[in-house]
Amino acid sequence: MIDERFDAIVVGAGMAGNAAAYTMASRGLKVLQLERGEYSGSKNVQGAILYADMMEKIIPDFREDAPLERHLIEQRFWMMGENSHTGLHYRSDDFNEEKPNRYTIIRAQFDKWFSSKVREAGALVVCETTVTELVQDAYGKVIGVKTDRGGGQIHADVVVLAEGVTGLLGARAGLRKIPKPTEVALAVKEMHFLPQEVIEQRFNVKGNEGAVIEAAGTISEGMTGMGFLYTNRECVSVGLGCLVSDFQKSGESPYTLLEKFKRHPSIAPLLEGSEVKEYAAHLIPEGGFKSIPQLYGEGWVVVGDAAQLNNAIHREGSNLAMTSGRIAGEAIFQVKSRKEPMTTANLSLYKKMLDDSFVIKDLKKYKDMPQLLHIQSQNFFLTYPQLVNKAMQNFVRVDGTPKKEKEKMTVKSFTSARSWAGLFGDAFKLARAWR
Amino acid sequence: MATETAVRVEDKLFQNRYLVDAGRAHIKVRPHTTPSAALRSLLTTCPARCYELNDKGQVEITADGCVECGTCRIIGEPSGDIEWNYPRGGYGVLFKFG
Protein backbone atom coordinates (compact mmCIF):
# COMPACT_ATOMS: atom_id res chain seq x y z
CA MET A 1 0.00 0.00 0.00
CA ILE A 2 0.91 3.63 -0.13
CA ASP A 3 2.97 4.55 2.93
CA GLU A 4 4.14 7.95 1.76
CA ARG A 5 2.68 11.10 3.20
CA PHE A 6 0.85 13.53 0.91
CA ASP A 7 0.19 17.24 1.00
CA ALA A 8 -3.39 16.50 -0.01
CA ILE A 9 -5.65 13.53 -0.67
CA VAL A 10 -8.55 14.16 -3.04
CA VAL A 11 -11.47 11.74 -2.67
CA GLY A 12 -13.29 11.40 -5.98
CA ALA A 13 -12.49 12.14 -9.61
CA GLY A 14 -15.48 14.06 -10.91
CA MET A 15 -15.37 17.70 -11.99
CA ALA A 16 -14.69 19.05 -8.49
CA GLY A 17 -12.08 16.43 -7.58
CA ASN A 18 -10.25 16.71 -10.88
CA ALA A 19 -10.21 20.51 -10.66
CA ALA A 20 -8.84 20.40 -7.11
CA ALA A 21 -6.24 17.72 -7.86
CA TYR A 22 -5.11 19.49 -11.05
CA THR A 23 -4.86 22.89 -9.34
CA MET A 24 -2.76 21.57 -6.46
CA ALA A 25 -0.56 19.21 -8.48
CA SER A 26 0.23 21.83 -11.10
CA ARG A 27 1.40 24.13 -8.31
CA GLY A 28 3.80 21.49 -7.09
CA LEU A 29 1.87 19.94 -4.20
CA LYS A 30 2.15 16.22 -3.62
CA VAL A 31 -1.36 14.97 -4.37
CA LEU A 32 -3.01 11.56 -4.13
CA GLN A 33 -6.41 11.21 -5.81
CA LEU A 34 -8.59 8.18 -5.08
CA GLU A 35 -11.45 7.13 -7.33
CA ARG A 36 -13.73 4.14 -6.90
CA GLY A 37 -14.52 3.77 -10.62
CA GLU A 38 -12.55 1.86 -13.19
CA TYR A 39 -11.32 5.26 -14.45
CA SER A 40 -12.30 8.87 -13.81
CA GLY A 41 -15.72 9.17 -15.43
CA SER A 42 -16.96 5.63 -15.18
CA LYS A 43 -19.20 6.52 -12.20
CA ASN A 44 -19.98 10.09 -13.22
CA VAL A 45 -23.32 11.11 -14.68
CA GLN A 46 -24.38 14.48 -16.06
CA GLY A 47 -26.61 15.87 -18.87
CA ALA A 48 -24.10 17.21 -19.85
CA ILE A 49 -23.16 20.80 -20.64
CA LEU A 50 -19.64 22.13 -20.12
CA TYR A 51 -19.20 25.83 -19.39
CA ALA A 52 -16.06 27.00 -21.14
CA ASP A 53 -15.28 30.03 -18.98
CA MET A 54 -14.89 27.97 -15.81
CA MET A 55 -12.92 25.27 -17.61
CA GLU A 56 -10.57 27.88 -19.10
CA LYS A 57 -9.73 29.10 -15.62
CA ILE A 58 -8.35 25.62 -14.93
CA ILE A 59 -6.96 24.51 -18.31
CA PRO A 60 -6.95 27.56 -20.65
CA ASP A 61 -6.34 25.60 -23.87
CA PHE A 62 -8.69 22.70 -23.10
CA ARG A 63 -10.33 23.06 -26.53
CA GLU A 64 -7.19 21.72 -28.19
CA ASP A 65 -7.62 18.12 -27.12
CA ALA A 66 -10.64 17.74 -24.80
CA PRO A 67 -13.42 15.51 -26.16
CA LEU A 68 -16.17 18.05 -26.87
CA GLU A 69 -19.40 17.11 -28.64
CA ARG A 70 -21.16 20.22 -29.98
CA HIS A 71 -21.06 23.92 -29.11
CA LEU A 72 -24.50 25.25 -28.33
CA ILE A 73 -26.05 27.86 -30.57
CA GLU A 74 -29.68 27.42 -29.59
CA GLN A 75 -31.53 27.12 -26.31
CA ARG A 76 -35.19 26.11 -26.28
CA PHE A 77 -37.39 26.34 -23.20
CA TRP A 78 -40.58 24.37 -23.63
CA MET A 79 -43.59 24.65 -21.37
CA MET A 80 -45.28 21.33 -21.83
CA GLY A 81 -48.99 20.65 -22.07
CA GLU A 82 -50.56 17.22 -22.47
CA ASN A 83 -50.26 17.16 -26.30
CA SER A 84 -48.60 20.50 -26.86
CA HIS A 85 -45.81 22.80 -25.88
CA THR A 86 -45.32 26.54 -25.79
CA GLY A 87 -41.73 27.44 -26.57
CA LEU A 88 -39.29 30.22 -26.01
CA HIS A 89 -36.22 29.82 -28.20
CA TYR A 90 -33.01 31.74 -28.33
CA ARG A 91 -30.64 31.12 -31.22
CA SER A 92 -27.74 33.27 -32.20
CA ASP A 93 -24.93 33.06 -34.71
CA ASP A 94 -22.87 34.91 -32.09
CA PHE A 95 -22.42 31.54 -30.40
CA ASN A 96 -20.47 30.40 -33.47
CA GLU A 97 -17.51 32.28 -32.05
CA GLU A 98 -13.87 31.29 -32.13
CA LYS A 99 -14.05 30.17 -28.51
CA PRO A 100 -17.61 29.03 -27.89
CA ASN A 101 -19.19 29.46 -24.47
CA ARG A 102 -20.97 26.16 -23.91
CA TYR A 103 -20.45 22.64 -25.20
CA THR A 104 -22.24 19.36 -24.80
CA ILE A 105 -19.93 16.66 -23.46
CA ILE A 106 -20.09 12.97 -22.56
CA ARG A 107 -18.82 12.71 -19.02
CA ALA A 108 -17.18 9.28 -19.20
CA GLN A 109 -15.03 10.58 -22.07
CA PHE A 110 -14.45 14.11 -20.83
CA ASP A 111 -13.51 13.04 -17.31
CA LYS A 112 -11.07 10.49 -18.65
CA TRP A 113 -9.36 13.31 -20.56
CA PHE A 114 -9.44 15.64 -17.53
CA SER A 115 -7.92 12.88 -15.42
CA SER A 116 -5.07 12.47 -17.92
CA LYS A 117 -4.29 16.17 -17.35
CA VAL A 118 -4.34 15.61 -13.58
CA ARG A 119 -1.76 12.83 -14.01
CA GLU A 120 0.35 14.98 -16.34
CA ALA A 121 0.33 17.70 -13.69
CA GLY A 122 1.98 15.22 -11.34
CA ALA A 123 -0.79 13.85 -9.12
CA LEU A 124 -0.86 10.18 -8.22
CA VAL A 125 -4.28 8.97 -9.42
CA VAL A 126 -5.42 5.60 -8.07
CA CYS A 127 -8.66 4.19 -9.47
CA GLU A 128 -10.79 1.15 -8.52
CA THR A 129 -10.26 2.13 -4.90
CA THR A 130 -13.13 3.07 -2.62
CA VAL A 131 -12.30 5.25 0.36
CA THR A 132 -14.11 3.67 3.30
CA GLU A 133 -13.28 5.96 6.19
CA LEU A 134 -11.78 9.30 7.15
CA VAL A 135 -9.03 8.96 9.73
CA GLN A 136 -9.30 11.49 12.53
CA ASP A 137 -6.93 12.06 15.44
CA ALA A 138 -8.01 12.27 19.09
CA TYR A 139 -9.01 15.93 18.59
CA GLY A 140 -11.16 15.22 15.55
CA LYS A 141 -8.67 16.58 13.04
CA VAL A 142 -8.80 14.72 9.72
CA ILE A 143 -5.35 13.23 9.12
CA GLY A 144 -5.96 10.76 6.30
CA VAL A 145 -8.13 8.02 4.84
CA LYS A 146 -8.61 4.26 4.79
CA THR A 147 -9.54 2.41 1.61
CA ASP A 148 -11.00 -0.95 0.66
CA ARG A 149 -7.56 -1.97 -0.61
CA GLY A 150 -6.44 -2.67 2.94
CA GLY A 151 -2.97 -1.64 4.01
CA GLY A 152 -4.04 0.71 6.76
CA GLN A 153 -4.08 4.46 6.73
CA ILE A 154 -2.82 6.93 4.15
CA HIS A 155 -1.90 10.28 5.65
CA ALA A 156 -2.10 13.82 4.31
CA ASP A 157 -2.16 17.38 5.64
CA VAL A 158 -5.59 17.92 4.15
CA VAL A 159 -8.35 15.79 2.63
CA VAL A 160 -10.47 17.29 -0.16
CA LEU A 161 -13.89 15.65 -0.12
CA ALA A 162 -15.03 15.61 -3.74
CA GLU A 163 -17.18 12.56 -3.18
CA GLY A 164 -20.28 13.68 -5.00
CA VAL A 165 -23.89 14.24 -4.07
CA THR A 166 -24.21 10.98 -2.21
CA GLY A 167 -20.77 11.05 -0.62
CA LEU A 168 -20.58 8.85 2.45
CA LEU A 169 -17.39 9.91 4.17
CA GLY A 170 -18.24 13.43 5.28
CA ALA A 171 -21.70 12.41 6.45
CA ARG A 172 -20.41 9.39 8.40
CA ALA A 173 -17.70 11.45 10.05
CA GLY A 174 -20.36 13.93 11.16
CA LEU A 175 -18.94 16.77 9.05
CA ARG A 176 -22.25 17.35 7.27
CA LYS A 177 -25.74 15.87 7.20
CA ILE A 178 -27.03 13.44 4.61
CA PRO A 179 -29.29 15.42 2.19
CA LYS A 180 -33.05 15.16 2.75
CA PRO A 181 -35.42 13.86 0.04
CA THR A 182 -36.63 17.47 -0.36
CA GLU A 183 -33.08 18.64 -1.10
CA VAL A 184 -32.20 16.36 -4.01
CA ALA A 185 -33.74 15.58 -7.38
CA LEU A 186 -33.49 12.18 -8.99
CA ALA A 187 -32.78 12.39 -12.71
CA VAL A 188 -32.81 9.51 -15.17
CA LYS A 189 -31.23 9.70 -18.59
CA GLU A 190 -30.84 7.69 -21.77
CA MET A 191 -28.35 7.99 -24.59
CA HIS A 192 -30.13 7.81 -27.95
CA PHE A 193 -27.88 7.20 -30.92
CA LEU A 194 -28.77 8.54 -34.36
CA PRO A 195 -26.73 9.27 -37.47
CA GLN A 196 -25.02 12.64 -37.23
CA GLU A 197 -26.87 14.12 -40.22
CA VAL A 198 -30.24 13.04 -38.79
CA ILE A 199 -29.51 14.90 -35.55
CA GLU A 200 -28.47 17.96 -37.55
CA GLN A 201 -31.63 17.93 -39.65
CA ARG A 202 -34.00 17.36 -36.77
CA PHE A 203 -32.47 20.03 -34.56
CA ASN A 204 -31.71 22.50 -37.35
CA VAL A 205 -27.96 22.65 -36.75
CA LYS A 206 -24.89 21.90 -38.86
CA GLY A 207 -21.25 20.96 -38.35
CA ASN A 208 -20.35 21.17 -34.70
CA GLU A 209 -23.38 23.25 -33.74
CA GLY A 210 -25.75 21.94 -31.13
CA ALA A 211 -29.09 22.72 -29.52
CA VAL A 212 -30.63 22.19 -26.12
CA ILE A 213 -34.26 21.66 -25.19
CA GLU A 214 -35.27 22.10 -21.57
CA ALA A 215 -38.85 21.25 -20.81
CA ALA A 216 -41.11 21.68 -17.81
CA GLY A 217 -44.82 21.31 -17.27
CA THR A 218 -47.27 18.45 -17.37
CA ILE A 219 -44.42 15.98 -18.03
CA SER A 220 -43.61 16.00 -14.30
CA GLU A 221 -47.27 15.41 -13.38
CA GLY A 222 -47.36 18.15 -10.77
CA MET A 223 -43.97 17.39 -9.27
CA THR A 224 -41.07 19.83 -9.16
CA GLY A 225 -39.01 18.72 -12.10
CA MET A 226 -37.94 19.10 -15.69
CA GLY A 227 -36.89 17.20 -18.77
CA PHE A 228 -34.12 17.83 -21.25
CA LEU A 229 -32.69 16.90 -24.64
CA TYR A 230 -29.05 17.69 -25.35
CA THR A 231 -27.55 17.10 -28.78
CA ASN A 232 -24.21 15.34 -28.85
CA ARG A 233 -22.36 14.57 -32.06
CA GLU A 234 -23.94 11.17 -32.73
CA CYS A 235 -26.43 10.86 -29.94
CA VAL A 236 -29.04 12.77 -27.98
CA SER A 237 -29.08 12.74 -24.17
CA VAL A 238 -32.69 12.54 -23.02
CA GLY A 239 -33.55 12.83 -19.39
CA LEU A 240 -35.96 13.92 -16.76
CA GLY A 241 -35.66 14.65 -13.08
CA CYS A 242 -37.95 15.43 -10.14
CA LEU A 243 -37.47 15.94 -6.42
CA VAL A 244 -37.01 12.66 -4.57
CA SER A 245 -39.68 13.67 -2.03
CA ASP A 246 -42.14 14.28 -4.89
CA PHE A 247 -41.42 10.85 -6.38
CA GLN A 248 -42.10 9.32 -2.98
CA LYS A 249 -45.36 11.19 -2.55
CA SER A 250 -46.69 10.60 -6.07
CA GLY A 251 -45.66 6.95 -6.35
CA GLU A 252 -44.60 7.67 -9.94
CA SER A 253 -41.61 5.73 -11.23
CA PRO A 254 -38.79 7.72 -12.80
CA TYR A 255 -38.55 5.38 -15.79
CA THR A 256 -42.30 5.51 -16.47
CA LEU A 257 -42.13 9.29 -16.46
CA LEU A 258 -39.14 9.23 -18.82
CA GLU A 259 -41.03 6.92 -21.18
CA LYS A 260 -44.02 9.27 -21.20
CA PHE A 261 -41.72 12.23 -21.87
CA LYS A 262 -40.16 10.39 -24.82
CA ARG A 263 -43.61 9.60 -26.19
CA HIS A 264 -44.84 13.18 -25.94
CA PRO A 265 -45.88 14.26 -29.46
CA SER A 266 -43.43 17.18 -29.36
CA ILE A 267 -40.50 14.93 -28.39
CA ALA A 268 -41.12 11.57 -30.11
CA PRO A 269 -40.32 12.72 -33.70
CA LEU A 270 -36.93 14.00 -32.53
CA LEU A 271 -35.95 10.55 -31.25
CA GLU A 272 -37.65 8.32 -33.80
CA GLY A 273 -35.55 5.36 -34.90
CA SER A 274 -32.81 5.93 -32.33
CA GLU A 275 -30.83 3.18 -30.64
CA VAL A 276 -30.57 3.46 -26.85
CA LYS A 277 -27.16 2.49 -25.53
CA GLU A 278 -27.27 3.42 -21.86
CA TYR A 279 -29.64 4.17 -19.00
CA ALA A 280 -28.30 6.13 -16.05
CA ALA A 281 -29.63 7.78 -12.92
CA HIS A 282 -28.14 10.39 -10.65
CA LEU A 283 -29.08 12.69 -7.80
CA ILE A 284 -28.85 16.45 -8.22
CA PRO A 285 -28.49 18.80 -5.23
CA GLU A 286 -31.52 21.12 -5.26
CA GLY A 287 -31.52 22.69 -1.81
CA GLY A 288 -29.62 25.78 -2.93
CA PHE A 289 -27.99 28.31 -0.64
CA LYS A 290 -29.82 27.23 2.50
CA SER A 291 -28.62 23.63 2.15
CA ILE A 292 -24.91 24.40 1.87
CA PRO A 293 -23.15 22.60 4.75
CA GLN A 294 -20.02 23.61 6.66
CA LEU A 295 -17.40 23.74 3.90
CA TYR A 296 -14.15 23.30 5.83
CA GLY A 297 -12.71 22.17 9.13
CA GLU A 298 -9.59 20.74 10.76
CA GLY A 299 -7.74 19.06 7.92
CA TRP A 300 -10.61 18.94 5.41
CA VAL A 301 -12.64 20.84 2.83
CA VAL A 302 -15.71 19.75 0.85
CA VAL A 303 -16.32 20.73 -2.80
CA GLY A 304 -18.83 20.25 -5.63
CA ASP A 305 -22.06 18.26 -5.36
CA ALA A 306 -21.02 16.92 -1.94
CA ALA A 307 -21.29 20.53 -0.75
CA GLN A 308 -24.71 20.96 -2.47
CA LEU A 309 -23.16 23.53 -4.82
CA ASN A 310 -25.69 23.43 -7.64
CA ASN A 311 -27.74 26.20 -9.21
CA ALA A 312 -31.04 24.50 -9.94
CA ILE A 313 -32.62 27.57 -11.55
CA HIS A 314 -29.93 27.88 -14.20
CA ARG A 315 -29.30 24.14 -14.25
CA GLU A 316 -25.61 24.68 -13.57
CA GLY A 317 -23.74 22.15 -11.48
CA SER A 318 -20.48 21.07 -13.03
CA ASN A 319 -19.18 24.63 -13.32
CA LEU A 320 -19.84 25.25 -9.63
CA ALA A 321 -18.17 21.92 -8.92
CA MET A 322 -15.03 22.67 -10.92
CA THR A 323 -14.84 26.22 -9.61
CA SER A 324 -15.16 25.13 -5.98
CA GLY A 325 -12.52 22.46 -6.61
CA ARG A 326 -10.17 24.99 -8.20
CA ILE A 327 -10.70 27.53 -5.42
CA ALA A 328 -10.18 24.90 -2.71
CA GLY A 329 -6.95 23.88 -4.46
CA GLU A 330 -5.76 27.49 -4.64
CA ALA A 331 -6.62 28.13 -0.98
CA ILE A 332 -4.79 24.99 0.15
CA PHE A 333 -1.79 25.99 -1.97
CA GLN A 334 -1.75 29.44 -0.34
CA VAL A 335 -1.88 27.99 3.18
CA LYS A 336 0.82 25.48 2.26
CA SER A 337 3.12 28.07 0.72
CA ARG A 338 2.91 30.14 3.92
CA LYS A 339 4.09 26.93 5.65
CA GLU A 340 1.04 27.04 7.88
CA PRO A 341 -1.01 24.06 9.13
CA MET A 342 -4.36 23.02 7.61
CA THR A 343 -6.45 24.25 10.51
CA THR A 344 -10.06 25.38 10.45
CA ALA A 345 -8.92 29.00 10.73
CA ASN A 346 -6.48 28.73 7.84
CA LEU A 347 -8.82 26.74 5.60
CA SER A 348 -11.54 29.37 6.07
CA LEU A 349 -9.68 31.05 3.22
CA TYR A 350 -11.46 28.58 0.89
CA LYS A 351 -14.87 29.80 2.09
CA LYS A 352 -13.79 33.42 1.83
CA MET A 353 -12.61 32.96 -1.75
CA LEU A 354 -15.74 31.00 -2.65
CA ASP A 355 -17.99 33.71 -1.17
CA ASP A 356 -16.33 36.22 -3.49
CA SER A 357 -16.93 34.03 -6.55
CA PHE A 358 -20.05 33.58 -8.65
CA VAL A 359 -20.63 30.24 -6.92
CA ILE A 360 -21.97 31.56 -3.62
CA LYS A 361 -23.22 34.85 -5.09
CA ASP A 362 -25.50 33.04 -7.55
CA LEU A 363 -26.77 30.57 -4.98
CA LYS A 364 -27.52 33.43 -2.57
CA LYS A 365 -29.49 35.27 -5.25
CA TYR A 366 -31.94 32.36 -5.53
CA LYS A 367 -31.96 31.36 -1.88
CA ASP A 368 -35.80 31.43 -1.63
CA MET A 369 -36.49 29.84 -4.99
CA PRO A 370 -36.26 26.12 -4.08
CA GLN A 371 -38.80 26.46 -1.28
CA LEU A 372 -41.22 28.44 -3.45
CA LEU A 373 -41.11 25.99 -6.34
CA HIS A 374 -41.22 22.92 -4.11
CA ILE A 375 -44.21 24.01 -2.05
CA GLN A 376 -46.16 25.24 -5.07
CA SER A 377 -45.16 22.53 -7.51
CA GLN A 378 -48.77 21.82 -8.54
CA ASN A 379 -49.23 25.43 -9.65
CA PHE A 380 -45.87 26.05 -11.29
CA PHE A 381 -45.41 22.65 -12.94
CA LEU A 382 -48.96 21.63 -13.79
CA THR A 383 -51.66 24.30 -13.57
CA TYR A 384 -49.78 27.18 -15.22
CA PRO A 385 -48.30 25.13 -18.06
CA GLN A 386 -51.77 23.73 -18.80
CA LEU A 387 -53.28 27.22 -18.76
CA VAL A 388 -50.59 28.72 -20.96
CA ASN A 389 -50.92 25.95 -23.53
CA LYS A 390 -54.69 26.31 -23.50
CA ALA A 391 -54.35 30.06 -23.96
CA MET A 392 -52.01 29.56 -26.91
CA GLN A 393 -54.41 27.11 -28.54
CA ASN A 394 -57.23 29.57 -28.00
CA PHE A 395 -55.10 32.32 -29.54
CA VAL A 396 -54.01 30.53 -32.68
CA ARG A 397 -57.04 28.37 -33.46
CA VAL A 398 -59.40 30.17 -35.84
CA ASP A 399 -62.93 28.93 -35.30
CA GLY A 400 -65.22 31.90 -35.81
CA THR A 401 -65.29 32.88 -32.13
CA PRO A 402 -64.91 36.67 -31.87
CA LYS A 403 -61.45 37.62 -30.51
CA LYS A 404 -62.95 39.55 -27.61
CA GLU A 405 -64.72 36.40 -26.43
CA LYS A 406 -61.55 34.36 -26.85
CA GLU A 407 -59.65 36.76 -24.60
CA LYS A 408 -62.40 36.57 -22.00
CA MET A 409 -62.24 32.77 -22.09
CA THR A 410 -58.49 32.82 -21.53
CA VAL A 411 -58.70 35.25 -18.62
CA LYS A 412 -61.52 33.23 -17.13
CA SER A 413 -59.55 29.98 -17.39
CA PHE A 414 -56.74 31.57 -15.39
CA THR A 415 -58.92 33.16 -12.72
CA SER A 416 -61.08 30.10 -12.21
CA ALA A 417 -58.03 27.84 -11.89
CA ARG A 418 -56.03 30.08 -9.61
CA SER A 419 -58.08 33.24 -8.62
CA TRP A 420 -56.82 36.81 -9.04
CA ALA A 421 -55.31 36.79 -5.56
CA GLY A 422 -53.49 33.53 -6.26
CA LEU A 423 -52.17 34.79 -9.60
CA PHE A 424 -50.87 38.06 -8.18
CA GLY A 425 -49.51 36.30 -5.10
CA ASP A 426 -47.56 33.81 -7.23
CA ALA A 427 -46.24 36.54 -9.53
CA PHE A 428 -45.12 38.58 -6.54
CA LYS A 429 -43.48 35.64 -4.77
CA LEU A 430 -41.73 34.54 -7.96
CA ALA A 431 -40.41 38.04 -8.61
CA ARG A 432 -39.18 38.38 -5.05
CA ALA A 433 -37.41 35.01 -5.09
CA TRP A 434 -35.83 35.87 -8.47
CA ARG A 435 -34.50 39.25 -7.31
CA MET B 1 -46.70 -1.94 -31.34
CA ALA B 2 -48.80 -1.38 -28.24
CA THR B 3 -48.43 2.13 -26.95
CA GLU B 4 -49.38 1.73 -23.30
CA THR B 5 -47.47 -1.40 -22.30
CA ALA B 6 -45.76 -1.21 -18.93
CA VAL B 7 -42.21 0.06 -19.00
CA ARG B 8 -39.71 -2.72 -18.48
CA VAL B 9 -36.79 -1.25 -16.65
CA GLU B 10 -34.92 -4.54 -17.17
CA ASP B 11 -34.72 -3.71 -20.88
CA LYS B 12 -33.10 -0.40 -20.00
CA LEU B 13 -30.61 -1.92 -17.57
CA PHE B 14 -29.71 -4.51 -20.18
CA GLN B 15 -27.92 -1.74 -22.11
CA ASN B 16 -25.60 -1.04 -19.20
CA ARG B 17 -22.27 -2.59 -18.26
CA TYR B 18 -21.80 -4.00 -14.77
CA LEU B 19 -19.13 -5.83 -12.85
CA VAL B 20 -21.12 -7.59 -10.16
CA ASP B 21 -19.30 -8.29 -6.89
CA ALA B 22 -20.90 -11.70 -6.35
CA GLY B 23 -21.95 -12.39 -2.79
CA ARG B 24 -21.17 -8.85 -1.60
CA ALA B 25 -24.31 -6.77 -2.05
CA HIS B 26 -23.53 -3.11 -1.32
CA ILE B 27 -27.06 -2.39 -0.09
CA LYS B 28 -28.90 -4.32 2.59
CA VAL B 29 -32.48 -4.04 3.79
CA ARG B 30 -32.97 -4.31 7.55
CA PRO B 31 -35.02 -7.40 8.37
CA HIS B 32 -38.64 -6.42 9.06
CA THR B 33 -42.11 -7.90 9.25
CA THR B 34 -44.02 -4.90 7.88
CA PRO B 35 -42.17 -2.38 5.71
CA SER B 36 -42.15 1.30 6.73
CA ALA B 37 -43.66 3.93 4.40
CA ALA B 38 -40.12 5.01 3.44
CA LEU B 39 -39.16 1.47 2.53
CA ARG B 40 -42.36 0.97 0.56
CA SER B 41 -41.69 4.14 -1.44
CA LEU B 42 -38.51 2.51 -2.79
CA LEU B 43 -40.64 0.05 -4.75
CA THR B 44 -41.59 2.83 -7.16
CA THR B 45 -38.87 5.44 -6.62
CA CYS B 46 -35.77 3.30 -7.26
CA PRO B 47 -34.89 4.06 -10.91
CA ALA B 48 -33.50 0.54 -11.46
CA ARG B 49 -36.40 -1.19 -9.70
CA CYS B 50 -34.04 -3.04 -7.40
CA TYR B 51 -36.66 -3.23 -4.65
CA GLU B 52 -39.54 -5.68 -4.76
CA LEU B 53 -42.10 -7.16 -2.39
CA ASN B 54 -41.73 -10.81 -1.53
CA ASP B 55 -44.74 -13.07 -0.92
CA LYS B 56 -44.70 -12.20 2.80
CA GLY B 57 -45.15 -8.52 1.98
CA GLN B 58 -41.59 -7.61 2.92
CA VAL B 59 -39.34 -5.39 0.83
CA GLU B 60 -36.34 -7.16 -0.69
CA ILE B 61 -33.45 -5.86 -2.72
CA THR B 62 -31.52 -7.31 -5.63
CA ALA B 63 -28.75 -4.81 -6.18
CA ASP B 64 -27.23 -6.31 -9.36
CA GLY B 65 -28.84 -3.69 -11.62
CA CYS B 66 -28.18 -0.79 -9.24
CA VAL B 67 -27.03 2.40 -10.98
CA GLU B 68 -25.62 3.78 -7.71
CA CYS B 69 -27.68 6.96 -7.69
CA GLY B 70 -28.08 6.94 -3.90
CA THR B 71 -31.82 7.66 -3.86
CA CYS B 72 -32.55 4.75 -1.51
CA ARG B 73 -29.79 5.90 0.81
CA ILE B 74 -31.34 9.37 1.06
CA ILE B 75 -34.73 7.78 1.78
CA GLY B 76 -33.80 4.78 3.87
CA GLU B 77 -30.49 5.34 5.66
CA PRO B 78 -31.52 7.95 8.24
CA SER B 79 -34.31 5.66 9.55
CA GLY B 80 -32.06 2.62 9.52
CA ASP B 81 -34.30 0.85 7.00
CA ILE B 82 -31.37 0.20 4.74
CA GLU B 83 -27.61 0.01 4.98
CA TRP B 84 -25.86 1.60 2.04
CA ASN B 85 -22.25 1.39 0.97
CA TYR B 86 -20.41 1.94 -2.27
CA PRO B 87 -19.47 -1.25 -4.09
CA ARG B 88 -15.81 -2.21 -3.71
CA GLY B 89 -13.49 -0.26 -5.97
CA GLY B 90 -13.89 -1.22 -9.62
CA TYR B 91 -17.19 -3.07 -9.10
CA GLY B 92 -20.76 -2.05 -9.79
CA VAL B 93 -22.09 -0.08 -12.74
CA LEU B 94 -19.51 0.92 -15.37
CA PHE B 95 -20.88 3.82 -17.34
CA LYS B 96 -19.80 4.02 -20.97
CA PHE B 97 -21.17 7.52 -21.43
CA GLY B 98 -22.40 8.72 -18.03
Q: Is the C-alpha dihedral spanning A29, A52, A184, A374 positive or negative?
A: positive
Contact flag A128-B90 (C-beta cutoff 8 Å) = yes
- CA A115/CA A35 separation, integer angstroms: 11
pLDDT given for residue A371 in this prediction: 83
pLDDT given for residue A434 in this prediction: 83
pLDDT given for residue A149 in this prediction: 92
Helices A344-355 and A318-337: angle between axes, nearest 10 degrees = 140
pLDDT given for residue A377 in this prediction: 87
Contact flag A190-B12 (C-beta cutoff 8 Å) = yes
Residue B2's pLDDT band (boundaries 50, 70, 90)?
Answer: very low
Interface of B with A (CB under 8 A): 3, 7, 9, 12-13, 15-16, 19, 38, 41, 44-45, 47-49, 67-71, 73-75, 77-78, 84-90, 92-98
Q: Is the pLDDT of residue A90 over 60?
A: yes
The mean pLDDT of chain A is: 95
Residue range B60-98, pLDDT digits in tens: 999 999 999 999 999 999 999 999 999 999 999 999 999
Residue A243 exposure: Cα atoms within 13 Å on the Cβ side: 25
pLDDT given for residue B47 in this prediction: 98
Contact flag B97-A179 (C-beta cutoff 8 Å) = no
- CA B85/CA B7 separation, integer angstroms: 28
Q: Is the pLDDT of residue B34 over 50?
A: yes
Minimal Cβ distance to B71: which of A109, A186, A259: A186
- CA A267/CA A263 separation, integer angstroms: 7
H helices within A308-435, ranges in order?
A: 318-337, 344-355, 358-365, 369-375, 377-378, 384-396, 403-418, 420-434
Residue range A234-281, pLDDT digits in tens: 999 999 999 999 999 999 999 999 999 999 999 999 999 999 999 999
φ, ψ for residue A127 (rounded to 5)? -100, 180
pLDDT given for residue B3 in this prediction: 45
pLDDT given for residue A278 in this prediction: 98
Over residues A214-232, mean pLDDT:
95
Over residues A98-126, mean pLDDT:
98
Cα dihedral A316/A317/A319/A325 (nearest 10): 160
Residue range A3-37, pLDDT digits in tens: 689 999 999 999 999 999 999 999 999 999 999 99
Least confident of A59-63, A208-212, A390-394: A390-394
Q: Is the pLDDT of residue A182 over 60?
A: yes
Architecture per CATH, B17-94: 2-Layer Sandwich (3.30)
Domains of chain A: 5-67+105-179+292-365 (3.50.50.60), 184-285 (3.30.9.90), 369-434 (no CATH)
Per domain, the residue ranges of chain B are 17-94
Contact flag A168-B67 (C-beta cutoff 8 Å) = no
- CA B47/CA A255 separation, integer angstroms: 6
Chain B contacts of A186, Cβ < 8 Å?
A: 45, 47, 69, 71
pLDDT given for residue A2 in this prediction: 63
Residue B5's pLDDT band (boundaries 50, 70, 90)?
Answer: low
B67/chain A closest Cα distance in angstroms: 6
Contact at 8 Å (CB) between A76 and A213?
yes
Among A252, A279, A282, A286, which would you mutate to test the B interface (most chain B Cβ atoms within 10 Å of its Cβ)? Answer: A279
Contact flag B96-A277 (C-beta cutoff 8 Å) = yes
